Amino acid sequence: MVVAISSVGLVAKPRLHGSPVPERSRGGSDRSHGIYACDVSEPDTGAAREGELQAFRRAAHALVDGVANQLAALPSRPVWQPLPDALREQLVDLPLPERAATLDDLVATALRDVLPHAMGNGHPAFFGWVNPPPSPAAVVASLAAAAMNPSVVAGDHADVHLERAVVRWLAELVGFPHAPGAGLLTSGASAATIVCFAGARGRALAEVGRDVRRDGLTGAPQLVAYVPAEAHSCVRRALELLGLGSGAMHEVPLDGGRLDAAALRASIAADRASGAVPALLVGSAGTVNAGVIDPLDALADVATAEGLWFHVDGAYGAFGVLDPAIAARFRGMERADSLTLDPHKWLGVPVDAGCALVRRSDDLRDAFSLIPPYLRQDASAPVGTFAEYGFEQTRPFRALKTWATIAARGRAGIAAQVARANGLARELATLVEREPELELASAPETSIVAFRARPAGCPPSRLDDVNRALPEAVQARGRVFVTGTVFGGRETLRACILHPDTGSDHLATLVAEVVTTARTLAATG
Ligand SMILES: Cc1ncc(COP(=O)(O)O)c(C=O)c1O
C-alpha cells in the first residue's frame, strides 16, 4: 500500500515496521550521531521483516472480516444515501499527514469512513447506469494482483501469460475469432474504443498512401465514420481525440431497428464523391440507453461491400449473446474488425476492466508499436509486448480479477446469469405495462428497461420535467437506485439489471417507488 486514507489524513507509504528510527540503528552504525538523516541505508533484519508481515496479516484479516460484514449488511441498508456533511468535508479536506499511521489504523478508518459510503452498486436494488456489484472472486484476486504489482507489458511472468489467456477467453465467450495478440485489456470501453479506432484510422489512411503516425492528419483527406444516433458518447469522444472530429460522424439510417442499407450506401457514395474517405462503420451490441442490439449482420454486409472498418461496441451488451433466447440477434458481431467489451459491466469484474479485440493484430501493432532501447524486452517476439497494441506503457494486472470472475462461474454460470437478467428485464417491462402511471419507452431486448412515469392528472406539458427530476428523487429515498436519460427525444428512466441477487421483489419495489415519487413530484411541481 502506498497511499491510503486515515482519520488523520492521506498517508504516504505507511511504515509497516512501525518502529521509531533509533530502534532501527543496528549493526554498528550509530545513527544517533545524525550521520544518516533518514532510515534508508539499513537493511531489514529478519525480526523487523517478521513484524512487518505480522502487521500485514493482522490488518488484512481485519479488512477481510470488515468487508465481509459490509457485504452481509448491504441488502438491509439503503441502496445509497448522501454522505453526512461532516464526513464529506473531512474527506475532502484531509490534511497531508506528517507522520506514519499503522495499518490497523488505516483499516479501521477505511471500514468506518469509506466502505459504508459507496455508490450503491453492491445492492440488488441498484439499477443505475451500467454498474454491477463486484464478483467476490475478483475482490479476493485483486489483493493478490496488488501484492504482485507487475507492469503487464512483457517478460516471462504469470501476469503476461494470464492476460493472453483471459483475452482469448473473452473472445471465446462472445464468439469472436481470436488470434494471439489480437486484443488486450484496457481501463474500460472508452479506452478500448480509442485503441480500436486508432487501428481503423491508420489502416484507412495507409490505404490512400498516408502515414498518419509520421505525418499526422495535416493534408490528409477527411475520414468519415458512420455512427448510429444511439451510439455511446465514447465513440464520438474517440473520433474527436483521434482528430477525425465529430463533424466526420454521419448518422447510420436506422429505423425501428432496421438498417436502410441503400440510404447508407448512398451516403457513403456521396462522401466518396466529395473527396472524403469513408473509413469506419459502428454498431452497438446493446445500446446504453435501452439495451437495443443494432442489426449487426446488415451493418457488416455494408462494411464488407464498401471496404469499411466495422466496429461493434459490445461494452454493455456483447455478453448477451450467451443467452440462447437472443443469441441470434447478435449475428454479425463475429464479422467485426474490432469489438469492445467491458468485463467490468455484465461480468462483474471490479473496475477497471475493458477489452479491445481486433480481427488483425497488426492493425493495432502498426498503430502503436514504438520500442525505445530501454523497453526492448520481448520486442522481437512474434506477438511482441502489450505496449505495442495500445497506448498504456505501465499496465495494471487486470487479468487476475477477470480470470477469477470467469473461472468462479464458468461459461455456463455466466450464461445463466445473463439469461436471468434478461428474463428479469422482461418481467419488469410487464410490470411497467400493467401500471397505468408508467409507460414502456422500448421493449427490452437485453437487461435494460427504458420507461417513463405519467402520474395521473399530470398535464402532458409537465411530464418531461417530472421524469427528469425522478431519478434523483427516487435515489434520495434510498430504497432503489435508478438513473435517467433522454430517449426518443423524451426524458426517460432506464433500469439496468446486472446484479445476480436482484429478484422480483426488487422489481416491484422499483415500480412502487417510481410511481409514488412521480405522484409527489407532479403534485408539488
Ligand atoms: C454501450 C456502452 N459503450 C461504451 C461504454 C463506455 O464504457 P466505459 O465506461 O467502460 O469506458 C458504456 C458505458 O456504460 C456503454 O454502456
In a domain, 381, yes or no: yes
Helix (H, G, I), strand (E, B) or coil at 152: strand
Task: Among 345, 349, 487, name the best residue to mutate to test ligand 1's pocket (greatest count of ligand atoms within 8 A of Cβ).
Answer: 345
Within 8 A by CB and 6+ apart from 172, the residues are: 178
Residues 283 and 172 in one domain: yes
Question: Which bin fits 520, alpha (ψ -120 to 50), beta or left (φ > 0)?
Answer: alpha
Between CA 503 and CA 124 the distance in angstroms is 8
CA of 129, closest atom in ligand 1: 14
C-alpha cell recorded at residue 298: 446488415
Tell me which residue has its CA closest to atom 14 in ligand 1: 130
Task: Among 288, 292, 349, 494, name the best residue to mutate to test ligand 1's pocket (greatest count of ligand atoms within 8 A of Cβ).
Answer: 288
Read off the pLDDT band of 212 (50, 70, 90): very high
Give the residue, 5 or 410, on which the prediction is more confident.
410
CA of 34 to the centre of ligand 1 (A): 56
Tell me which residue has its CA closest to atom 7 in ligand 1: 189
Residues 184 and 248 in one domain: yes
CB-side exposure of 516: number of CA atoms within 13 Å?
A: 11
Residues 375 and 506 in one domain: no
Pocket of ligand 1 (CB under 6 A): 130, 188-190, 232, 234, 284, 288, 313, 315-316, 342, 354
DSSP string of 388-424, one letter each residue? GSSS-SS---HHHHHHHHHHHHHHHHHHHHHHHHHHH
- CA 386 to each of CA 142, 214, 377, 378, 391: distance values in angstroms, whole numbers, following the listed order: 20, 22, 11, 10, 9
> Are 301 and 218 within 8 A, CB to CB?
no
Helix runs in 274-397, H state only: 296-306, 361-368
In a domain, 317, yes or no: yes
CA of 351, closest atom in ligand 1: 10
Tell me which residue has its CA closest to atom 12 in ligand 1: 315
CA of 142 to the centre of ligand 1 (A): 22
| CATH number of the domain bearing residue 201 | 3.40.640.10
CA of 318 to the centre of ligand 1 (A): 12
Length of the chain: 525
In a domain, 166, yes or no: yes
CA 367 from centroid of its chain's CA atoms: 23
Tell me which residue has its CA closest to atom 11 in ligand 1: 190
Residues 364 and 464 in one domain: no
pLDDT in tens, 256-306: 899 999 999 999 999 999 999 999 999 999 999 999 999 999 999 999 999
CA of 188, closest atom in ligand 1: 10
What share of the chain has pLDDT > 90, as a percent?
89
> Are 78 and 479 within 8 A, CB to CB?
yes
**What's the confidence (pLDDT) of residue 454?**
98
Within 8 A by CB and 6+ apart from 118, the residues are: 80
Count of other CB atoms within 10 angstroms of residue 515: 17
* Number of structural domains found in the chain: 3
Between CA 471 and CA 117 the distance in angstroms is 19
Residues 375 and 421 in one domain: no
Give the residue, 29 or 81, on which the prediction is more confident.
81
CA of 316 to the centre of ligand 1 (A): 6
CA of 231, closest atom in ligand 1: 1
Between CA 381 and CA 388, with CA 382 as vertex, the angle to 5 degrees is: 75
CA of 317, closest atom in ligand 1: 1
**Residue 73: pLDDT over 80:** yes
Tell me which residue has its CA closest to atom 16 in ligand 1: 288
Average pLDDT over residues 450-475: 98
Last residue of a domain, one of 364, 396, 428: 396
Query: Identity (one letter) of the amino acid at 256?
Result: G
**What's the confidence (pLDDT) of residue 350?**
98
Residues 386 and 501 in one domain: no
Average pLDDT over residues 154-171: 97
C-alpha cell recorded at residue 163: 492476460
CA of 193 to the centre of ligand 1 (A): 9
**What's the confidence (pLDDT) of residue 13?**
33
> Are 417 and 403 within 8 A, CB to CB?
no
- CA 128 to each of CA 135, 288, 313, 456: distance values in angstroms, whole numbers, following the listed order: 18, 11, 20, 25
Average pLDDT over residues 244-260: 96
Torsion of CA 505, 508, 509, 514, to 10 degrees: 160
Residues 392 and 420 in one domain: no
Average pLDDT, the chain: 92
CA of 315 to the centre of ligand 1 (A): 5
Read off the pLDDT band of 405 (50, 70, 90): very high
**What's the confidence (pLDDT) of residue 445?**
98
CA of 200 to the centre of ligand 1 (A): 19
Last residue of a domain, one of 363, 396, 429: 396
Within 8 A by CB and 6+ apart from 391, the residues are: 191, 194, 195, 198, 368
**Residue 363: pLDDT over 50:** yes
Read off the pLDDT band of 359 (50, 70, 90): very high
Average pLDDT over residues 411-430: 98
Last residue of a domain, one of 333, 367, 396: 396
C-alpha cell recorded at residue 512: 412502487
Residues 170 and 259 in one domain: yes
Task: Among 127, 174, 190, 349, name the best residue to mutate to test ligand 1's pocket (greatest count of ligand atoms within 8 A of Cβ).
Answer: 190
CA of 8 to the centre of ligand 1 (A): 36
**What's the confidence (pLDDT) of residue 7?**
38
**What's the confidence (pLDDT) of residue 40?**
59
**What's the confidence (pLDDT) of residue 82?**
96
Residues 383 and 472 in one domain: no
Average pLDDT over residues 493-501: 98
In a domain, 133, yes or no: no
**Residue 22: pLDDT over 90:** no
CA of 313, closest atom in ligand 1: 3
**Residue 12: pLDDT over 70:** no
In a domain, 329, yes or no: yes
**What's the confidence (pLDDT) of residue 3?**
35
- 444 φ, ψ (degrees, to nearest 5): -70, 135
In a domain, 85, yes or no: no
**What's the confidence (pLDDT) of residue 44?**
60
**What's the confidence (pLDDT) of residue 42?**
63
Beta bridge partners of 440: 451
Q: Can you tell me which residue has the cell 488483425?
A: 360
> Is it true that the peptide bond before 352 is cis, omega within 30 degrees of 0?
yes
In a domain, 215, yes or no: yes
Residues 439 and 510 in one domain: yes
β strands within 253-367, DSSP E: 254-255, 258-259, 277-284, 309-314, 338-341, 354-358
**Residue 362: pLDDT over 70:** yes
Structural domain of 345: 151-396
Residues 24 and 173 in one domain: no
CA of 189 to the centre of ligand 1 (A): 5
- 97 φ, ψ (degrees, to nearest 5): -75, 145
Residues 307 and 382 in one domain: yes
CA of 147 to the centre of ligand 1 (A): 29
pTM for this prediction: 0.91
In a domain, 124, yes or no: no
